[in-house]
Amino acid sequence: MPEVNFPGPEGRLEGRYHPQPDNDSPIALILQPHPQFGGTMNNKVVYNLYYGMHGLGFSVMRFNFRGVGRSQGEFDGGIGELSDAASALDYLQEMNPNARQCWVVGFSFGAWIGMQLLMRRPEISGFVSVAPPANMYDFSFLAPCPSSGLVLNGSVDRVAPPDDVVKLVTKLKTQKGITITHTVMDGANHFFDKQMDEMVKHVTDYVGERVMPPPIDLDDI
């Protein structure tokens, strides 16, 4: 799990990058929860999603937003963090210029940032939003949402209440040309403390069904 440092809008950003041996492997950027509430790239949800996506064959990257860990800068209310995420995706794409798919996976605050990044980067082919805080942040920019994806949350989440997530999903499902899959995990809280493995399995099962298989080499037939 190599440590990486890459340039961000306000200085150096600290990350972890775990590549695959195949140069056309899909890529996934995993985004952390809120920096001002203890969120880092080492959050347990982020950590487990990172390895879950790597297990599917993705080259994966997670990183600390500005002002977290050894990342330079200061918290910027989401505006600067979106720029940080764009810089991280740039770096990931530079490392994987032949990637056949690009995904963004965000948890909590990171889900909000990830959905904004989705709107700005047409090359993103799929998304996963885990416990999106629809009660705290405006998701109305998703008009229309440009890609199909998975929204997953817990039934007893007190940070991002389920009713607010349902309203977000209901709105997204009215849009044509995409498919929004919504999974509610019974008994799970915001951090999936007792259902971590089950949560990761839901995500990897969904993504695994959508990831394009590598092209067949006719010489191997």
**pLDDT > 70? residue 215:** no
| 45-87 per-position pLDDT tens digit | 999 999 999 999 999 999 999 999 999 999 999 999 999 999 9
pLDDT, average across residues 32-44: 97
Q: Is 60 exposed, middle or buried (0-12, 13-18, 19+ CB in 10 A)?
A: buried
- Rounded mean pLDDT, 25-31: 98
Please check the confidence at residue 218 and state whether its pLDDT lies above 90.
Answer: no
pLDDT, tens digit, 9 for 90 and up, residues 120-156? 999 999 999 999 999 999 999 998 899 999 999 999 9
Q: What is the DSSP string of 26-80?
A: -EEEEE---GGGT--TT-HHHHHHHHHHHHTT-EEEEEPPTTSTT--S---TTHH
Residue keyed to tokens 């001002």 = 36
| Arithmetic mean of pLDDT, 84-107 | 97
What pLDDT band is residue 220 in, cutting at 50, 70 and 90? low
**CATH number at 3-214:** 3.40.50.1820
Q: Where are the domains of the chain?
A: 3-214
- Helix, strand, coil: what percent of the chain each, to 5? 35, 20, 45
For range 6-32, the mean pLDDT: 97
Decide: 189 and 155 in contact? Cβ < 8 Å: no
Query: What pLDDT is recorded for position 114?
Result: 98
